[in-house]
Structures are given as structure tokens and as C-alpha cells.
Amino acid sequence: MLMFGLYSAGLCLVKGLNQTNMDNRFAFGLWIFLDLTVIALGAGAFFTGFLLYILKVKELGAVINSAVVIGLVCYSGAVAALLVDVGQPLRFWFTFWYPNVHSMLTEVTFCITCYLTVLLIEYVPIVLRNRRLRQVPSFLIFEFELHKLVYVLAGVGTFLSFFHQGSLGGLFGVLRGHPFAFREGLAVWPSTFFLFVLSAAAAGPSFILLTTWLVSKISNRQLVRPEVLPLLGRISGMLMIAYVLAKTVDTLIWINHTSPGAGVPAWQYYSWKPFGTWILFAEIVAFGLIPALVLLTPRLRLRSNWLVSAAALTCIGIALNRFVMTLQTLALPTLSFDPFLSYFPSWQETGTFLGVVGFGVLVYSFSFRYLNLFPQERDLEQPEAAPVREPALAGRY
Amino acid sequence: MKATRRDLFKFAAGGATGLLLTPAPWRLVTDAALWSENWPGIPKPVRGELRTRFTHCALCPAGCAVKARCVGDQPISLIGLPGKPLCAFGLMGHQLPYHAGRVRQADADAVRAVIAKRAANETVAVLDLRPGRTASWTYRRAMAALPRGVYLAARSSVPAVNLDAVKIILSLGVPVLDGWGTPSNVQQARSHFRLIQAEPAESRTALLADQWLKIRPGTELELVEALATGRGGAGTGLNEKVIASVANELVQAGALFLAAEESPSVLELNRKLGAVGKTIVAQREAPVPRSWKPAPVTPINSVPERSIGVLLIDESAADSYVPWSKLEGKLAPDALVVTFASSQAGYGRQAKHLLPTAVYPESTGDIPPAIDSPLATFRLTTPLVAPPRGVVNPAQFIGGLAAIDAADALRERAGAIHAAGRGSVCTYADGRSIPVEDIQPDQFWKALNDGACWIDEPGGKLLPPVLRASTPAVVALNWEKRAARGPMPPLVSKLYQESNLRVRI
Amino acid sequence: MSHRGTLFFLAGALIALGAGWAGFPRVIYRSRPQPVEFSHKVHAEKAGMKCEDCHEIRADGSFAGIPRREKCAGCHEAAMGTTLAEKQFIDGYVTPQREVQWSVYARQPENVYFSHASHVKLAHLECATCHGDHGTSDSLRPYQEDRISGYSRDIWRAMKMNDCVACHRSHGFEKSCLDCHK
Amino acid sequence: MSARSYGMSIDIDKCTGCGACMVACAVENNVPPAPEGVNERKGITWIRVFRLDNGAEGVDRKWAFLPMLCQQCGENTPCVSVCPQQAVQLDPATGIVGQMPERCLGCRYCMAACPYHARYFNWWDPSWPAGMEKTLNPAVAPRMRGVVEKCNFCHGRWHAAKARAAAQGRRDLDPADYVPACVEACPTSAIRFGDLNDLENAPERGSFRLLEKLGTGPKIYYQTQRDWVREIAAAPGGTERAHG
């Protein structure tokens, strides 16, 4: 999978982006959509860190390491995909050298790069807990020092990711040219900015919940105390409900005010098959409200299959939202005489992304194998970890 | 003492830190980005002094005046004269020499030898796809000189259309607004004639016409019959009312012109409706030297079956073509077919030999008066770029077969025109118009080469054309058909491929 | 122990510094001599010529750059002096009518549009302002080209974008990139 | 030098869809011909003529041609604010929205931002048939693969005009000095170009702009006497009428 990914990415880099099925209308394709999704799901890292270190929700200590690794995996993957996505990767540093401070993308790039480094630093102590490394005294000292830092890091991390999650939303909220995506701003940011933050925060815990559950199923070991997952669920649920409310309000404002203001009655967007109003319904109710309610109902929450499926729904809901923001926005015609277009990724695009996924799975499973991702695991005195089977994990996204 | 692994780490670390304090890494990063500005494959345009040169566009019989912007001697863009714009294809003309499908090499001498041998006792025929040029005269002289030479013209009779007198045009699939006549003339006349386009395809002319009769393919002549007789026409797919109203319009209109590919019934109807002599008039040609003894123009139909031993086709400048099926029958069993073309797209498929020719704007020659110019004109296409080695000049080649030196034919004709002393010459550089009798022959010749047009004086009444109603269906080339039959400038991809503007019909 | 460590560290640092500062510039630039030995000094002083006598601005505002052979041949059809350089030039280029393949020190990237006309005729800049003492130099130094970017080193000396911007800014001419880029 | 605000006024009724503007533009700005198998979705045409029809069938069916190019938006220009590295600029001196290929990262965010789809990405390395690179225009630099490009009102001609004026000692341009290629080439002079600040170029009454309500202040004005054309052209958001 990794090899295939590298090959397709190589094709795109050497032969150019003509290898993809993107075109002048679909300037963004599979990659951007999935990057957004992945980053949203990776948000678990910052938010758990936030809860644990800043709000002192101690129970989450059980999953923080795993969360950090997931965050690292998601972000590094996304960045890798982005480097293939741009036409001139050699010029990536221009953004730092000649930044355009008004551009959401600049904000995104800055925050993501910084946050990636933060994640790396947060990753170090986890690595250092590895038994063999612990034999080196100087590393031990280093780790100790680092531990004092971790609160700062968590703080910084939260701040950073808060911003870029938002800016990612802003990316499309500012598209004045696309009434379908354009939203009025609160302060300097369009409403999507805050919606994205909220949704990411909501999806993050759910995703951690999912992975933890999945890993424990695969390695059939109990990794965390039974109350941790429901807790994650509850957090996710609360945020989700908040998000759904906010989203509804925003949508109403948009339908009745923003969009008509730009000269387009909102119904027009949904007159294009297959994007009927059902997509709006699915986004807000089916994959928003319902899981949120499930997660907030204690009885259901305690049943693992309800819990897990609700979490899954949440993640899907977020993915759907990102899909709508990226691809549907571009698919909808703006001029009366241009057509509604559809787009299907080429195998090179898919391949590249699969490669990223493969990389993620690899990193995660190695960390799981050699590092102590779930501190409680040892307290629950389980037998020594069996090596994780790669493919079994592959279906995570 | 021995360096441990840790020391090596330290050493490397030191190296790294040190390197960061030097320009090297930063410079490499910058250079990588700069390299992306001119990595291999990005051509560098040639710089140099900008010059302006004039010529005439030879892509279609309109022969528009061309103002070429050149760097040094290389044209980099073409543009029309004020009030006389070029069409989309004329604007790309200077790229034609670089067409990928172009044929460049052939053994002309071997072919010449073969033809010469057979010409002694077989019928040699020349098919001219743009009659009325000086080259055409060379062909006719050569065929007259050969023992059994025949000169075939794609259009046996070249009538002119007096657009000023036209009040209504019924066009049977003729691209009146897209490659027919001189764009600027048609544009100006458009305001005072009504255009009815009878055509199956959704061509641009059809879209822009005042009325579009969407007839079934191949029912043009049935429509003509219906219009002439007032009966039938069901096969066209139009209802009687429409046909009747059109017929009525045609009769009412004082001066009309029925554009169509040559065919007896069309000419008949034109006569009947009184177009002939009023809007359809005789094409006038510029004077030619008295010493030139031309062979007659033979209508293709009157050529005996299986009689032609050697068929020479001049495709180098084609305005229309004769379907191969119409020619096949005339050829002797072992006939030798040689075509002069710049690509395989045309008759190249049927011909035994293809002799590569220069393309506009490499070629030297003249352009016959446009179909919408009742006055005789004489316009040269002076080459803007040098033709590649190995191309053949059809006129000189065919002239050579009959020991006629056609190298100076153009100049001789210019001399004859000057001797006639009629008309005036308009020079493009300064936009002046000088009566011919006021300038010397060599000045006249120089002016023509530097970009000027000789126009006959208006005087004299317009004569009705000599129309032979016995020629096969000749297919007029609109731009879509041209694109299919010959090389087009590479940038036509903008029109046909990268946008939905034009569709190949 | 730690001593040794620092030692190694410093050693590495020193070597890297040396390589980066001294070695790198030699490696990165490809250097080639000009085809003909030419002295601006001689032409300026002995022949008393001015820059624009050879490097003219055409009527359409474009800059002719380095004069072509005909221009040189105007004076050097036959040898005027006794120098070997001139003899070589005449035998090598004028007589066989070959163009000289000069390498232009100040050749800007393709995407730059620099108008000598506006800088000389409107802003009345001296040639020396940008070209330094090139006009009085006695010999042509070898042309140095960046191996990776393929640009002349002199751009990096005095004609970087920053240099242009600095001057434009100081005169309040900084409008947009498209002022100078194409 | 007084600040200008260059703009166009296009008479849809005069446009015959001949494509001269598209070709002249490609020739002037060194836009390469399409590589194998490129369609209208990946092709590069700084100006593109669209074919409109009134959706009726049979004899009532009517057509119009609408030349479409970068609308040079003058107010909160969508593509300028989104570019992460200042590769897009609204030149205050000319009102031209400029694209700097050598600065462009190729993120295509500006293309997503443009409501007129007037920005084009170099999906391929630029390539011309052997020998044809001799015909390139020295006033315009060919773009490299992986960057965005668009109409800049033939900025190379603006440079040339400035240089010509400078050679004559003039700082300011006369209207005749500077005309984009499409305007020069249009056989029916359907496209007019000029400084919108000058009175004679002020848009006529009844002329409209595309997607005005987005509030991007485009500087390309369109005219038509035909109501159905106005209705279609002015209406935002794809209607069922739109055909590929």
C-alpha cells in the first residue's frame, strides 16, 4: 500500500498534476477533502490534551498518548498529501517568506506546521518511555525536563489547532465567489470558522474512542478502564449537540439572508442531482443530532455497540460536512451558463492517499507495539502485547 | 583512543549546526525555487528588434491583407488592417509551418522522371483546387504544351457575387458567415441582406442566420426543386408552409443570391429568379501576358472514363475539393496519381506520390479575386519565413514538365498588369492608393512584394457569368472541413478542443 | 568524556563552516570566459565613446543590448590598433561574419520586464548606478552562472529584486509586481 | 502618472463567436496548444467564448455568444485575498488583477475562489510543436507547469506601450498606445477597452455585469438588446438551461 502510494505520488510529482482528475473547475479534489476530514479527526489530540492538562480531566490520561500519536499521524499525513497537491512543492517556503496575512490558507499553513512540531515534541516523551531508551540517563533527565513543559505544549497546541481548524473552515467561508459556501463573519472570521472548530472538537474524541475500541478488539486486550470510553462519548456528544445547534442557526441565517443577498435563492443549490436537500438533512440530523442524542443518553452510552456506532456516525457526519464544503461547493455552477460538473478521482489520486493512510497505520501500529500508548494497560495486567496485524487496521478511515 | 558512536553523533550534530550558519543551505533552497522558473522544457522567446511586414493571407480565397509583427525576420503575430480584420484562422497563420502532421521529404526528381516518361504517350491531367491564380495559368500553359494535357478546375466557372446588390441570400449549406468571401465585406453587407440558411448541421452560419431551415442531410437539391416548382419537398423535413413562404420571399426579393455548391438545378433556379447578371456576375481576372497560351478548362464530367494516365493534384492551396469518387472513374487502370500537398490528410491517401509543398506563409504566389469581389485584383503572398529544404513548388514542377520556366511567372504577369495601365495599387504601409500609370514597372513590382494590392478600376457593366451546368458536386471547404482535410495551426485546439465554441461537423 | 564530546562537536562545526563559506561558492557557480577580450576602458578613453554609442535604446523604447557584429565592424572592419585581442576579433568574427556569443552579466530572468528607456530617459539614471564601473573596466571578467538556477551571478551582486524594490520604494514608485514582472 | 482603472465593455449582440479573440489571446500571451486529449475542463483559454441559447426548441430557438475573461474585479477581489503568498495582486495604478507565475505555489485556492472560472492551471509542462517556440512573443514569459495563469489585459503590451512612451519622453499613456490583443483582433469590434475613469469609456446605460450581486465589482461590462440574453447572462447560479 505504501509502495503504491509512493509510486502514485511520484507520478504526480514528476509528470505533474495532469495525472489527477482535477481540472480548472475542480481545483480541489479528493486530497483536500480528505485532508480536511483527517485533520478534523486528528483534532482529538489537541482537545484531549486541552481537557487533560488544562481542565484536569484526569481520566483522559488513559488515552492521551494514543491521542497524540493519532494527531501526529493525521497531521503529518495531511501535510504530505498537501505537498503532492500543490503544483510547485519547491516553493512551499514562499508562504513563510512572503506571507499574505489576509489569506486563510496562510493561517492554516503556519498553524499546521507549528502544531506538527508541537505534536512531535509531545511525541518524544512517549518514545522516551520505551524501556530500552530509559537506560540512557541523559534521556531520562531530558524527559523529566520535558514533562514540565507538557502543560505549556498542551496550551500552545490547543491554541494553534483551534486556529487552524477554524481557518480550514474559513477557507470556504470566505469564498465570496461561491454563495453556497460564503458565510458572513463574526469579527474577522466567517461563521464556518467556529463551526469547524466545534465540529472538529466534537469529532476528535469520537475518533479516539473508535480507534481505542478498534485496537482493543484487534489485539483483544482491555486497554483502558471501562469508564473511559463512555466519558469520551459524553464529551463528544455534548460538543456535537452544541455544533448541531450552531450549524442549524448558521444554516438558517444563510438560507434566509446571506445566500439571497448574493442573488442566489438557496433552493437552487439543491436543484442539482444528486445533491438534494437530503444531504443537508443527513449532515445535520442523521449524522449530527441522532449520534449526539445517543451519546448523551447514559443508558445507550454504556452499551458498547451503541456507543461505538454513535461515535462512527459522528465521524461520518464530520466527513460529510467537509465533503459538502469542498467538493459540492466546486461542483455547483456559479454562472447561469456553466454546467454542473462531477468529478471522480483518478487512481493516482486515490493511490497517493492510500499511501498516506498506510503510512499512518504503520506509524500507529509501531507506536502501539513498541511504545506505551495506553498507560492503564499495564495496570490492568495484560500479557505482553502481540504484534499488531497491519491489514486488520487498514480499514480505519 | 577510538571514537565511539556517540562521538560521531556529536560530530554530525556539530556539522549540522555549523552548516546552518553558512549561506549554503539557504542558497540551495532559494536556487531550487528559482530552478522551478526555468527548468528544462520551458522555451525562452527570442528577443530582438520588432519589425512590421505585410503580405496576403493564402489560407482561403478571401486573401485578406496581413500585417505581421516580427522579431527580426520571424513573425510572432499576425493582424489585419484597420477595418479589414483577419478571421480566427488567419490570426494563427504564422504557426502553420510548425504543424506536426506536416510532410517534409520526398524524392521529387524520381517522380519527375516517372511522370516525364509517361507524359509522352498518356493523358496528363492537372486538377487545380484554386483556379484563377498565376499558377493556374502556368498549369494551363503546361497542359497546352504537353501532347495530351488536360486542365481540370475544381470549379469550372468562378462567378463573383456582387454583395452590394444582394438583398437576400438562401444558402444551401454554404458557410456564408464563416470562411466564405471576405470577412470584412460580408460583415459590412450583412446589415442589408437577409440570410436564410438551409443546412442539417448546427453550423455557425446556421446559428447566425436570420432563418435556419434545418433540413435532412442530402436534401438540398430536393429543397431547390420544391422552391422552383412549388411542389414536393416533403423529404427535406420542412413543412409546406415554410417552403412556400421562403419561395415567396425569394420571388419578392429584388436581388437575391442563391449560394450553393455548383449544380445544374441551383444555377437554373438562380437564372429563374433573376439573380444571374444582377448579383451573380462574371469573375474578372487580372490581365495576363499575351504570350501565354493556355489550355481550355475541361469540366471533369466531360473527361472520358478511365482516360487519365497521370493525374497531378495541386492541393497546396485548396478552397474546395472534388470527392475522390468523382475522380476515380476517370483514371486509367494503372494511373499514376501525384498530389502536391503539405500533409497526408487530403488526397495523400489515394495518391501514389505526395510531393511536399511550402505552406503559407512560406509560399510565394498570388490569390485570385475573392468570390465577393466583382473587380479583378492581383495580390501576392510574399513569404514571411523561408520554406524548409526539400519542398516542391507545384507551378515550377508542372511547368518544368512542359519546359516552361514558371519562376518569373508572377513578375511577368505583374508586368502585363502594369502594361494594361488600368486600376490602381494600394500600399498597406502608408495606406495610399496610386494609379498604376503613375509608377514604374519595377516600383509596381516592389510595391506588390512589400504588401500592396492591385485593384481594377470599377468601370464597365457587370457581365453575366458563363455558367456550365455540368460539373460534379464540388465540396466547398468551410473551416470545419478544412480542419478535417488539411493541416491547421496547432492553436486551433483552443477553438475545437479546449472550448465548446466550435464543433467538428 | 564530555570534553571529548564538545571537541568532536566543535570540529564538526568548524569543518562545516569552512565548507559552507569557502567551498560552496566555488561549487555552485559555473564560470566561463567571454568569447572576445574587450576593454570598455579603451573604447571610452581612447575612442572617447559614450555608453549609448553602442548600447542604444531603439525608437520603440526597447533596448538593443550588446551591439551586434555589424556595429563593431563599422569601426573594426580592418584593424585600428595593434592589439592581439582586436586581431583575434577581426579574424574570428568580422571577416567570417560570425556573431559573437556574449554572455550577458546583467541578463535578468525571463519573467522580468526591465525598460532601459524609462530608467534612462525618464528617471535619468546613470548607467553606473546599476552597472557599477563596468563601463570603465579594462577587461571582461569570466561570466559566472549558478549551476542550479542558471542565473548570472551578477544579478545576485547588484541587481536582485530587492535592490530594484529598495530604489523604487525610496522614490515612491512601488505599485505592484506587474510593474516589472511579465 | 494618474491612476487608471482599465475595463472592457462587450456587446454580446455583436459577437459572432468566430473565436478570433481566443486565438489572438493565445498567440499574444504564449499560451501553448493543448496536449493530447485535453478537453475544455483542463484547457487554457484566458478568454473563452461561451454559447448561450434560450432553451426553446425548433424555430424559436435562439443563440448568442458571450466572450468570458477575467472580470478584473475591483472590489474585494476574491482571488487576491485568498492567495497565501501574494502571487495575486490588484494593481492600484491600472486596476488590473495580476498573477505572478514565478511566485505562484500552485495551490489553486484562487481558482476555487473565482466565481467566473477565469483562472487556469498549468496541468502540463508548456510545450509547442518543434520549431514553433520561434514564434513566441518576447514580451510575455511562458509559464511553467504547476502554476495558475489568467488574463491580465495583455500586460506585456502595457509594458511595451510604457517603454515606447518613455522613449518619447512621455510618462503617461494615450488610449491608442495600449490595446489588448482580443480587442485588436475582434472583427466586429464587439469588445471595447479603455480607462473607465475617462468619460468616453464610461459604461453605457443598460449595460450589466456578471454576478454583480456578489459584490466583487467586476470591470467588464456587457450590453445586449435581447432580453433573454440579459436574463440568462445576468442570472447567477446555474439554471437548468445551462448545457455543457
What are the CA-CA distances from residue D133 to residues A191, B74, B98, D35, D141 (Å)? 50, 11, 9, 15, 12
Q: For residues C90 and A381, which has the higher predicted lDDT (pLDDT)?
A: C90
Chains contacting C (3 or more CB pairs within 8 Å): B, D
Q: Are residues B437 and B335 in the same domain?
A: yes
Calculate the alpha carbon distances from B211 to B80, B208, B244, B479, C51 in Å: 30, 8, 14, 21, 67
B407 in D contact zone (CB under 8 Å): no
Interchain contact B42–A (C-beta under 8 A): no
Measured CA to CA, the distance from residue A363 to residue A374 in angstroms comes to 16
What backbone phi and psi angles, to 5 degrees, belong to A211?
Answer: -60, -50
- Look at residue B395 and tell me if it is in a domain: yes
With H, G, I as helix, E, B as strand and everything else as coil, classify residue B216: coil
Decide if A88 and B32 are in contact by the 8 Å CB cutoff.
Answer: no
Q: Are residues B424 and B310 part of one domain?
A: yes
Q: What is the DSSP annotation of A298-324?
A: HHHHHSHHHHHHHHHHHHHHHHHHHHI
SS (H, E, C) D145-169: CCCEEECCCCHHHHHHHHHHHHHCC
pLDDT higher at D238 or A88 = A88
Asked if the Cβ–Cβ distance from D93 to C60 is below 8 Å, we say no
- Does residue B175 share a domain with residue B130? no
* CB pairs B-D closer than 8 Å: 163
Query: What is the predicted pLDDT for the residue at A393?
Result: 35
> Could you tell me whether strands B377-381 and B365-367 are parallel, antiparallel, or unpaired per DSSP bridges?
antiparallel
Same domain, B349 and B316: yes
Q: Residues of D with CB below 8 A from A106's CB?
A: 84-85
Domain that holds residue D169: 6-234
Query: Which partners does chain B have (≥3 C-beta pairs < 8 Å)?
Result: A, C, D
B444 and B329 both lie in a single domain: yes
Mutate one of C9, C62, C181 to test the B interface: name it (highest B CB count within 10 A). C9
Assigned C-alpha cell, B319: 478552397
Q: Are D163 and C118 in contact (CB under 8 A)?
A: yes
Give contacts of B79 with chain D, Cβ < 8 Å: 24, 184-185
- Answer whether residue A58 shows pLDDT above 90: no
Specify whether B277 is located in the same domain as B290.
Answer: no
pLDDT in tens, chain C (182 residues): 457 778 888 888 888 888 888 888 888 899 999 999 999 998 988 888 889 899 999 988 899 889 988 889 888 988 888 888 899 999 999 999 899 999 999 888 889 999 999 999 999 999 988 888 888 889 999 999 988 888 888 876 678 888 888 889 998 887 788 888 88
Identify from D6, D103, D154, D162 which residue to disrupt to test chain C contact, counting C C-beta atoms within 10 A and taking the largest count.
Answer: D162
Indicate yes or no: CB of B23 within 8 angstroms of CB of C16. no
Q: A354 lies in a domain?
A: yes
CA nearest B367: which of B182, B189, B492, B183? B182
Range of the domain at A230: 2-15+43-394
**Where is mean pLDDT largest: A3-7, A133-137, A381-385, D83-87?**
D83-87
Residues A213 and A207: their CA atoms lie apart, in Å, by 10
Q: How confident is the model at residue A368 (pLDDT cuts 50, 70, 90)?
A: confident
Asked if residue B30 is part of any domain, the answer here is no
Of D141, D148, D59, nearest in space to D111 by CA: D148
Low-confidence ranges of chain B (pLDDT < 70): 1-3, 156-158, 254-262, 460-462, 466-474, 476, 504-505
Model pLDDT for residues B158-201, shown as the tens digit of each residue: 678 888 888 899 988 888 888 888 999 998 899 889 999 999 88
Inter-CA distances, A245 with A281, A284, B195, Å: 13, 9, 63
**How would you classify the pairing of strands D220-223 and D6-11?**
parallel
For residue B341, give the H/E element and its range: strand B331-341
Give yes or no for residue D241 having a pLDDT over 50: no
Residue D161 is assigned to a structural domain of this protein: yes
Q: Quick one: B210 and B132 in the same domain?
A: no
Closest residue to C111, CB basis, from D94, D102, D171 = D102
A and C: touch, per 3+ CB pairs < 8 A? no
Give the closest of D51, D129, D138 to B490, CB-based: D129
pLDDT reading at A163 higher than 50: yes
Mutation choice for B interface testing from C1, C3, C6, C17 by most B CBs within 10 A = C17
Whether residue B483 is contained in a domain is answered as no
C to D contact (≥3 Cβ pairs closer than 8 Å): yes
Q: Are strands B194-198 and B308-314 parallel, antiparallel or unpaired?
A: unpaired
Q: Terminus-to-terminus CA distance in chain A, angstroms? A: 14
In a domain, residue D1? The reply is no
- Could B32 and C148 be called an inter-chain contact, meaning their C-beta atoms sit closer than 8 Å? yes
Chain D interface mutation, best of A11, A23, A102, highest count of D Cβ atoms under 10 Å: A23
Residue D185 in domain: yes
Which cell numbers hold the place of B256?
A: 437575391
* Chain C touched by D156 (CB under 8 Å): yes
Residues B356 and B228 in one domain: no
Q: How far is the C-alpha of B130 from the C-alpha of B136, rounded, in Å?
A: 8
**Phi and psi (nearest 5°) for C6?**
-55, -40
ipTM of predicted complex? 0.88
Closest-CA residue of chain B to D61: B207
Rg (CA), chain C: 22
Residue A348 CA to residue B124 CA, distance in Å, equals 60
When CB atoms are compared, the residue of D43, D50, D102 closest to B497 is D43
Using beta carbons and an 8 Å cutoff, which residues of C are at the interface with D?
57-62, 109-111, 113, 115, 117-118, 121-122, 175-179, 181-182
CB atoms near residue C50 (< 10 Å): 11
Chain D residues with CB inside 8 Å of C60's CB? 160, 163-164, 167
Q: Are B317 and B402 in a shared domain?
A: yes
Q: Which residues of B touch D151 (CB under 8 A)?
A: none
Residue B477 domain-assigned?
no
- B71: domain CATH number is 2.20.25
Taking alpha carbons only, the member of B79, B206, B159 closest to residue B374 is B159
Angle between helices A191-218 and A30-42 (to 10 degrees): 70
pLDDT at residue D19 in the model = 94
Q: Give the β-pairing of B123-128 and B308-314.
A: parallel
pLDDT tens digits for B53-79?
A: 999 999 988 999 999 999 988 999 999
How far is the alpha carbon of B3 from chain A, nearest alpha carbon, in Å?
19
In this prediction, residue B210 carries a pLDDT of 92
D107 assigned to some structural domain: yes
Rounded to an integer, what distance in angstroms lies between the CA atom of residue A225 and that of residue A248?
Answer: 36
Q: Name the most confidently modeled range: A353-367, B116-130, D50-64.
A: B116-130
Asked if B36 has any chain A CB less than 8 Å from its own CB, the reply is yes
**DSSP string for residues in D173-224:** PPGGG---HHHHH-TT--EEEEETTSGGGSPPTT-B-TTGGG----SEEEE-
Asked if residue B434 and residue B419 are part of one domain, the reply reads yes
Coil, strand or helix at A350: helix
Give the three-class secondary structure for A347. Answer: helix
Q: Does D160 touch chain C (CB under 8 A)?
A: yes
Query: Which residues in chain D have Cβ-Cβ distances shorter than 8 Å to B500?
Result: 40, 50-51, 244
Q: What is the CATH number of the domain that holds B188?
A: 3.40.228.10
Question: Is the Cβ–Cβ distance between C39 and C149 less than 8 Å?
Answer: no
H runs (alpha helix) in A59-135: 61-85, 94-97, 104-128, 131-134
Residues A303 and D212: beta-carbon distance below 8 Å: no
- H or E segment to which residue C79 belongs: none
Kindly indicate the confidence band of residue D244, based on its pLDDT and cuts at 50, 70 and 90. very low
- Residue D93 contacts C, CB cutoff 8 Å: yes
Better pLDDT: D90 or A124? D90
Please report, for chain C, the start and end positions of each structural domain, with discontinuous segments joined by +: 1-30
| Three-state secondary structure call for residue D136 | coil
This prediction has a pTM of: 0.90
Query: B308 - beta bridge partners?
Result: B123, B331
Residue of D36, D102, D108 for testing the chain A interface, max A β-carbons within 10 Å: D108
**Grid coordinates belonging to B420:** 494594361
Q: Does A202 fall in a domain?
A: yes
Contact (Cβ atoms closer than 8 angstroms) between residue A154 and residue A61: no
Helix (H) or strand (E) segment spanning residue B501: none
What is the span of the domain harbouring residue B274?
A: 162-281
Asked if the structure places residue B252 within a domain, the reply is yes
pLDDT higher than 70, residue D239: no
Nearest-angstrom CA–CA distance, A46 and A165 = 11
Amino acid letter, residue D162: K
Chains C and D form CB pairs within 8 A to the count of 76
Chain A's closest residue to B29, CA to CA, is: A90
Cβ neighbours of residue D122 closer than 8 Å, sequence gap 6 or more: A87, D44, D143, D144, D145, D146, D147, D148, D149
Whether residues B307 and B414 share a domain: the answer is: yes
Domain count, chain B: 3
Query: Cβ separation of C117 and D163 shorter than 8 Å?
Result: yes
Q: Which residues of B touch C4 (CB under 8 A)?
A: 7
Does the distance separating the beta carbons of C149 and B24 come in below 8 Å? no
Which residues are CB-neighbours of B66 under 8 A, at least 6 positions away?
A: B54, B55, B56, B57, B78, B79, B80, B86, B90, B93, B361
Note every long-range contact of B113-120, with CB atoms under 8 Å and residues 24 or more positions apart, other chains counting: B114/B336, B115/B310, B115/B312, B115/B336, B115/B338, B115/B401, B116/B401, B118/B309, B118/B310, B118/B336, B119/B146, B119/B147, B119/B310, B119/B401, B120/B147
CATH number at residue D110: 3.30.70.20
